[in-house]
Chains A and B, each alone.
Chain A
Amino acid sequence: MSFGSIISGLGSMVGGLFGGGIGGTILKTAVAGFSLYAISNSIKKSNTEKTAAESQNQVPKPTQNPIKNEGTIKADQNAKIPVIYGTAFTTGLITEAVMSNNNTRMTIVYTLSEKTGVKLSDGTASTFALNEVFAGEQRLVFDTSGALAGIQVAYSTDTSGNQDKSMSGVVRVYFYNGNSTSPQAISGYGLGTTSNAYDVVPGWTSSHAMNDLIFAVAQFDYNPDKGMTSIPEMKFRVQNTMTQPGDVMNDYMSNTRYGAGIPAGEIYSE
């Protein structure tokens, strides 16, 4: 017996109870409709219970784990290393990325700038400083004591000054001024320990000199309890003591690595 014949049979039975006429017809329609609704709901409930029972007895289908993070390393072989004069914000160029500790630690090298030369104005070498570090929209504040002072994040703050401790103890930033053996503290901090870059980046040796480069090494530890499940976009505020226009122009005109390479004898200065 088909489902349709059951319904029509029900209708005939209901019709028999209410008799003829418009009122009877309306009532018949309402009762039949309600009956159909009730039967339909009963079927749905039965199906749902059956699915739950199935799921208890069978191996559940794998679902996407929302706390994992997949991404792509944005490194480019053709990207030119910038030259920073004065102060600038930069996201840097990713030149190394190493996943270690069973995919729970990501170490990324951000190349920030070329190292500039001697200032024409006073004959002193230009120097760089890392003033601030941002992860996403959050400014990082580092520990001020301990072995990782000036390196490990204590907390982060937003523009309103609200503190967030999700990156506390799981993000570390190392800054290098000129090569892998020239670690330097972030402005306003002292270094608890000084580490060469090749002692921080897994797989690096002393041959990874990074000559004449200003760069930062950031380490991220996976920690779902703290919400550290993805690699944030980093931004660095870098400062170069070479700020005078004459110094900048002379450096850019004369430098053979990143500048015009004009011989000093062809540049008139006084």
Chain B
Amino acid sequence: MSLDLTPYPAIGSALFVKLTTFNSTGVDEVITFTDYHRSFDLDGTTYTGLGQFMTITETASDLRATNAELTITLSGIVTSTVDLAQDFDLKGSTIEIYRGIFDPTTMTLLSITGNPAGRFIGYVVNYAIDEEYDIAARNSTISVALICSSTVGLLQNKLSGRATNPWEQRDLYPGDAGMDRVPNIANANYNFGAP
């Protein structure tokens, strides 16, 4: 959906990230944050303002869906809280990123159709935790990088379809013995009419 920004000589923008992951008990957890300088309510959901503590790698804005990857880096995390990141099942989490267009003077979200616009939909395929140690201050901070692959990229690598073997048949339909004998008959010899 396109945004009509022609009436505005200047605009501001911010990215809003919605991460749906699972905690250690398998319960869905939705984590929302933004690189806006303060927390912001969007469609009834509060996005925690991280400001410059959140960065997203640049990607090309294509006219069609592409398989581009991007990395979201959350820095300045206190070391005592890094174990919280490991409590969550980050790999496989769904991630949605929206771009909100703001009035640079009032810093309010512009009331135009399609704002905020969808920017990226995908899954977290990997994550990395880096530690930055400050020798002078004798403390360290943690950066968590989420490597995300778009849905299109995952589809390109996806394999689907049912093979003619009992394992895949029973995986889909437990108890269905229709393919049970395929391993036995594969390349088996027969003698039609032999006494």
The chain A residues found within 8 Å of chain B, CB to CB, are 67-81, 83, 93-97, 99, 102-104, 106, 111, 114, 180, 205, 207-213, 220, 222, 224, 229-231, 256-262, 266
Contacts and interface: CB of A to CB of B under 8 A. Distances in A.
Q: Is the interface of B mostly helix, strand, loop or mixed?
A: loop
A57 B4 CA distance: 105
B137 interface: no
A71 B177 contact: no
A75 B192 contact: no
Given A73-B185, A73-B186, A106 B165 contact: no
Nearest to B183: A77
Given A75-B185, A77-B182, A266-B121, A224 B193 contact: yes
5 contacts: A70-B189, A71-B189, A77-B163, A95-B182, A211-B176
A260 B155 contact: yes
Most A CB within 10 A of own CB, among B164, B191, B192? B192
Contact of A210 (B163, B178, B181, B185): B178
B87 to A, nearest CB: 27
Given A73-B185, A96-B185, A208 B176 contact: yes
B194 interface: yes
A72 B187 contact: yes
Contacts of A69: 191-193
A71 B164 contact: no
B188 interface: yes
B192 A102 contact: no
B163 A73 contact: no
B193 A104 contact: yes
A94 B178 CA distance: 11
Q: Is the interface of A mostly helix, strand, loop or mixed?
A: loop
B177 to A, nearest CB: 5
A99 B190 contact: yes
B175 interface: yes
Contacts, number: 131
Given A75-B187, A260-B158, A266-B151, A68 B193 contact: yes
Interface of B: 121, 151, 155, 158, 160-165, 172-173, 175-183, 185-195
Given A180-B178, A231-B192, 12 more contacts: A76-B186, A77-B186, A80-B161, A95-B179, A103-B192, A103-B195, A106-B192, A222-B192, A229-B192, A258-B160, A260-B158, A266-B151
Most A CB within 10 A of own CB, among B158, B164, B165? B164
A205 B178 CA distance: 9
A219 to B, nearest CB: 12
Contact of B161 (A67, A76, A212, A258): A258
Contacts of A260: 155, 158, 160
A174 B188 CA distance: 23
B151 A213 contact: no
Most A CB within 10 A of own CB, among B163, B172, B179, B180? B179
A207 B187 contact: no
B136 to A, nearest CB: 49
A73 B184 CA distance: 10
Contact of B194 (A68, A74, A111, A231): A68
A96 to B, nearest CB: 6
Most A CB within 10 A of own CB, among B178, B180, B191? B178
B151 A262 contact: yes
B164 A81 contact: yes
A215 B91 CA distance: 40
A187 B195 CA distance: 37
A72 B185 CA distance: 9
Nearest to B189: A72
A75 B164 contact: yes
Contacts of A67: 193
B2 to A, nearest CB: 15
Contacts of B194: 68, 103
Given A77-B165, A81-B164, A68 B192 contact: yes
A97 B178 contact: no
A40 B189 CA distance: 49
**Ordered nearest first, which 9 A-B pairs have the shortest CB separation?**
A77-B165, A210-B178, A222-B193, A80-B161, A69-B192, A75-B186, A211-B173, A207-B177, A209-B176
